[in-house]
A and B are shown apart, each in its own frame.
Chain A
Amino acid sequence: SQQGEEDPQALSIQEGENATMNCSYKTSINNLQWYRQNSGRGLVHLILIRSNEREKHSGRLRVTLDTSKKSSSLLITASRAADTASYFCATAFYNTDKLIFGTGTRLQVFP
């Protein structure tokens, strides 16, 4: 399968802790995107990182991309209960015009 694979599948942390999620893929990409989905809602775009970029920030979010290892990580710092959601990576592969979504990481942040 070409889809990115998130790791871990589920993560539980306390408020204030950092949460790190990883996404691995198998073939060359144009870009990689992270989305959040709150229970019962649609996906919300968080960050897009292109293949020639190594790191991007948005507020408490930091995304890194290592094309040599074919992996990306999403770091949420100082997590809050409101960060409880599923997080998906979506990979835009070089040899296709599709955006392929992984199966997600379920993050639970306890107050």
Chain B
Amino acid sequence: DAGITQSPRHKVTETGTPVTLRCHQTENHRYMYWYRQDPGHGLRLIHYSYGVKDTDKGEVSDGYSVSRSKTEDFLLTLESATSSQTSVYFCAISERGFQETQYFGPGTRLLVL
């Protein structure tokens, strides 16, 4: 988890409210990713960034948006949280690209009531 922090680590929210999760890195890696982890599904990519202000959708991007205004910060926003977005969210970074080694943050547990 060194060099990558996520905040908050735990959050409980209500359906319909917006939620923003933050990922912060001190490694100066170009690529940053947001995944969600659910039982039986493994890790699924939500969005990723390949540079400041350069982002793209992943496998399960509906209902999520991202922003990256600085190299070190990658924000994930749930525009209007739903119970199906209850999950554990992981941020990851990599230096040279998608298919190279990824380094993961400690995760954020989100419960949407």
Instruction: List the interface of chain A (C-beta within 8 A of B).
Output: 3, 30-31, 33, 35, 40-45, 48, 88, 90, 92, 97-99, 101-104
Contact = CB atoms under 8 A, between A and B. Distances in A.
6 contacts: A43-B90, A44-B104, A48-B100, A92-B98, A99-B102, A101-B44
B97 A3 contact: no
B107 A103 contact: no
Contacts of B103: 45
Contacts of A40: 107
Interface string B31-42: 000010000111
Given A30-B99, A43-B90, A92-B99, A101 B104 contact: no
B42 A88 contact: yes
Tell me the interface secondary structure of chain B in the complex.
loop
Contact of A42 (B42, B58, B90): B90
A8 to B, nearest CB: 15
Interface of B: 1, 4, 35, 40-45, 58-59, 90, 92, 97-107
A33 B105 CA distance: 18
B107 A101 contact: no
B99 A42 contact: no
Contacts of B59: 98
B99 A43 contact: no
A97 B99 contact: yes
Nearest to B106: A42
Given A42-B105, A42-B106, A42-B107, A98 B45 contact: yes
Nearest to B1: A42
Contacts of B40: 103
Contacts of B106: 41-42
A68 to B, nearest CB: 21
A97 B42 contact: no
A60 B94 CA distance: 25
